[in-house]
Chain A
Amino acid sequence: MASADIVRQMGESVRPLSLSGHVGFDSLPDQLVNKSTSQGFCFNILCVGETGIGKSTLMDTLFNTSFEGSQSTHYENRVKLKAQTYELQESTARLKLTIVNSVGFGDQINKEDSYKPIIDYTDAQFEAYLQEELKIKRSLHNYHDSRIHVCLYFISPTGHSLKSLDLVTMKKLDSKVNIIPVIAKADTIAKNELHKFKIKIMSELVSNGVQIYQFPIDDETVAKINSAMNGHLPFAVIGSTEEVKVGNKMVKARQYPWGVVQVENENHSDFVKLREMLVCVNMEDLREQTHTRHYELYRRCKLEEMGFKDTDPNNKPVSLQETYEAKRNEFLGDLQRKEEEMRQMFVMRVKEKESQLKEAERELQDKFEHLKKMHQEERKKLDEKKSVLDEEMSIFNKRKAATELLQGQAFQTAPQMNLKKDKDRKNY
């Protein structure tokens, strides 16, 4: 940052210098080109549109190959995104192209949440890049940039206006990604209807505040063509991978009983315009816009969410490092406090349990004592009763002995009288 301060200070006193000979630093752009060519280019396209609207066919036509893909069903219960990466080469340029297609878009009966998976996907790519940027040991030059550089939004050729789903989705997407709206299957719109349709769509986008991608007009070399193209949006496109003989050439076309629609005929469709704009002229600008506008917006929002600021409450500039340290200390403080709380709670609980157990112990002890006492009393009572019983028994025995003695004496004096008495008893 120090060098930037110096430059700012010197701003007023930088004087242009004219060269008297050739130095050679005009080769700098070429050096840059050589470097980027050897590195290879990376481009990510997101295609959003209803099932069957022609997303895959248009990509095939645009890049002159046939990317793998099978027809999707209309019965997906959620919107999903399918991404595939391809390596293409054209003369010296190597392109790592990622095509992300929406699956099941517009098929559900309730489409209120249809835009969410798309937003989640673009955010996830931004997040991945942000994480890489924030790493301590990072390798950005090796990083495979998966951020979406352009979103082609496929509009259904109803001829009236946008659908409600289109409006809602584009409104959500316009701050996250460069949107280029295209009218799909445009060979069903007659010429006079097409002009009206395009105007209606653009006015709807403008009146609802949807920001679509404008081809840049600040660079003089491409300003003219770009501003002309801006007036042709949305592009009415047709895609075809089949070839039909027209004249003596085989061209990409669709054969109908009433005529042949040629894909690359500018009278028939805006396909060539789209290819020009998207691939030939503005691919690099799309990448730049994604990085400097959409990604920066995401980054700012994300960091603000996390509590980072550029200036502290006193409006003095705060570096990321300081903010990071402050955050870290805050978190550590929180952590310590929470630990303390937990420890105290633990101690309290232990104490409680202890006192509970002691209480229980005491109760048990009391019961034991009580029972013991009762037991002793019972014992005593029993002993007393036993002694009383013993006494009675001894008295009874004595009496028994005495009576037996008397009986014995009486028996010896009158034995005859007893016999008679026995006989009388037997007769009863």
Chain B
Amino acid sequence: FPDVAGYVGFANLPNQVHRKSVKKGFEFTLMVVGESGLGKSTLINSLFLTDLYPERYVPGAAEKIERTVQIEASTVEIEERGVKLRLTVVDTPGYGDAINSQDCFRPIIQYIDHQFERYLHDESGLNRRHIVDNRVHCCFYFISPFGHGLKPLDVEFMKAIHSKVNIVPVIAKADTLTLRERERLKRRILDEITEHGIRIYQLPDADSDEDEEFKEQTMILKASVPFAVIGSNQLIEVKGKKIRGRLYPWGVVEVENPEHNDFLKLRTMLVTHMQDLQEVTQDLHYENFRSERLKRVGRDVEDDTVDKDKILLQKEAELRRMQEMIAQMQAQMRMKPADNGDGH
């Protein structure tokens, strides 16, 4: 684009976009999925520096045997420097708890589809003034650090939703892994993700006109997936400062220390790519859902025409066969009168 000679004024457009978006406010829906006891709630509290789960009921083992998955969505409005964010966290208690986890994630898929359905309905309506976007923009999937990699349930779940939502895999309770074990587990998980054809959220490369620092940050973020995180609700005093951490007899694990875990990277990723997560949800997952949905409605008509074609083909084949038979019979009859003459 050649630079305009003289002053026109549309260089101000980005500011106008900024102003309008601040006025409008942002909405973001984050879903967390993982077995009980992996620290999901603690991590969410640490991420948004708030207490999203004030009175939580954790059932005992006996109740978990037949437990089904519940979907609990809680919405909060948080504000930072005038920018308002309407954050919805969708929790999935009961995932993986029951002794038979077959189909345990069906409620989750139904929820995601339901949000898509609602948006589709609103989008196709006559009055489109107040469309609320409750679609799930991102799903944090918590992987247990106590195993050797992905478990069969992890694989099945991710394969079932990777075409519906952006998956960000997270290694939970990372303070149980030494640095070497952490690298090994990350590599193992990435290998298994590729092996099973699971599509996780890919951070977009930095644009070429961004500054070096941002480009480097993006590269580091991309190389750290899956993020190995620790969360904490407690403040501990370290070197005169109160920070979030976990106190052990052998030391203190600091949540926001990049040498201890990838928590800061996860938060940076989420915050700087919130917009991109929404875009990918809109442009990829939602469009997928929409086209599948609309195709399904038209499929009944298609079935009829397909049948008719088939019937036509069949009838033509039959006709051809009949014609061949007639030709044969005629040929035979032409031969017969000669026979009759001789026979007499």
Q: Which residues of B contact A12 (CB under 8 A)?
A: none
- Complex-state Cα separation, A65 to B260, whole angstroms: 31
Asked if A306 is at the interface of the complex by the 8 Å CB criterion, the answer is: no
Say which residue of B58, B64, B146, B252 sits within 8 Å of A258 (CB atoms): B252
B36 touches A160 (CB 8 A): yes
Q: Is B8 an interface residue (CB 8 A)?
A: no
Q: Considering the chains assembled together, what is the distance between the CA atoms of A200 and B58 in angstroms?
A: 11
Question: Interface size bucket, A side?
Answer: 35 or more
Contact A74 B97 (CB under 8 A): no
- Given A109-B102, A160-B36, A168-B65, are A190 and B247 neighbors across the interface (CB < 8 Å)? yes
Tell me which residues across on chain A come within 8 A of B176, comparing CB atoms: 157, 185, 187-188
B250 engages A204 (CB within 8 Å)? no
Q: How far is the CB of A172 from chain B (nearest CB, A)?
A: 12
- Closest chain-B Cβ to A60's Cβ sits at a distance in Å of 16
Cβ contact within 8 Å between A167 and B65: yes
Alpha-carbon separation in the docked complex, A262 to B248 (Å) = 12
Contact present for B150 and A109 (CB under 8 Å): no
Residues of B within 8 A of A51 (CB): 147-148
Interface hits, B20-50 → A, CB 8 Å: 35-38
Indicate if the CB atoms of A52 and B250 lie closer than 8 Å: no
* Contact across chains for B249 and A74 when beta carbons are under 8 A apart: no
CB neighbours (8 Å) of A260 from chain B are 250-251
Given contacts A167-B62, A204-B62, contact A190 B248 (CB under 8 A): yes
Total residues of chain B contacting the partner, CB 8 A = 45
> CB-nearest residue of chain A relative to B64?
A164
Pick the contact of B178 from A190, A191, A255 — CB < 8 Å? A255
Chain A positions within 8 Å of B259 at CB level: 257
When distances are taken between beta carbons in the complex, the residues of chain A under 8 Å from B36 are 158, 160, 163
Q: If the complex has contacts A71-B148, A109-B100, are A256 and B249 also in contact, measured as CB distance less than 8 A?
A: no
Distance A156 CA – B67 CA, assembled complex (angstroms):
19
- Tell me whether B254 is interfacial, beta carbon within 8 Å: yes
- Residues from chain A with a CB closer than 8 A to the CB of B149 are 74
Nearest CB of chain B from residue A185's CB, rounded to whole Å: 5
With contacts A204-B62, A258-B251, A260-B250 taken as known, whether A111 is within 8 angstroms of B146 at the C-beta atoms is no
Query: What residues of B have a CB within 8 angstroms of the CB of A165 in the complex?
Result: 99
B295 close to A (CB within 8 Å):
no
Say whether B156 faces chain A, with CB atoms less than 8 Å apart: yes
Partner of B250, one of A158, A159, A162, A259: A259
- B102 neighbours in A (Cβ, 8 Å): 109-110
Establish whether residues A268 and B249, one from each chain, have CB atoms under 8 Å apart when the complex forms: yes
For the complex, what is the distance from the CA of A184 to the CA of B150, rounded to whole Å?
19
Partner of A161, one of B61, B99, B250: B61
How distant is the Cα of A265 from the Cα of B250 in the complex, in angstroms? Answer: 10
Residue from B67, B99, B146 within 8 A of A53 (CB atoms): B146
Q: State whether B248 touches A107 (Cβ < 8 A).
A: no
B178 to A157, Cβ gap below 8 A? no
Asked if B179 is at the interface (CB within 8 A of a chain A CB), the reply is yes
Q: Please determine whether B251 and A110 come into contact, CB atoms closer than 8 angstroms.
A: no
A172 and B146 CA atoms in complex are apart in Å by 25
In the assembled complex, 20 residue pairs joining A and B whose CB atoms fall closer than 8 Å, in A order, are: A51-B147, A51-B148, A71-B148, A73-B148, A74-B151, A107-B151, A110-B100, A111-B99, A160-B37, A161-B59, A168-B65, A187-B176, A188-B176, A208-B61, A256-B253, A257-B179, A258-B253, A259-B251, A260-B250, A261-B248
Binding site for B on A (CB under 8 A): 50-54, 71-75, 107-112, 156-168, 184-185, 187-188, 190-192, 200, 204, 207-208, 254-262, 265, 267-268
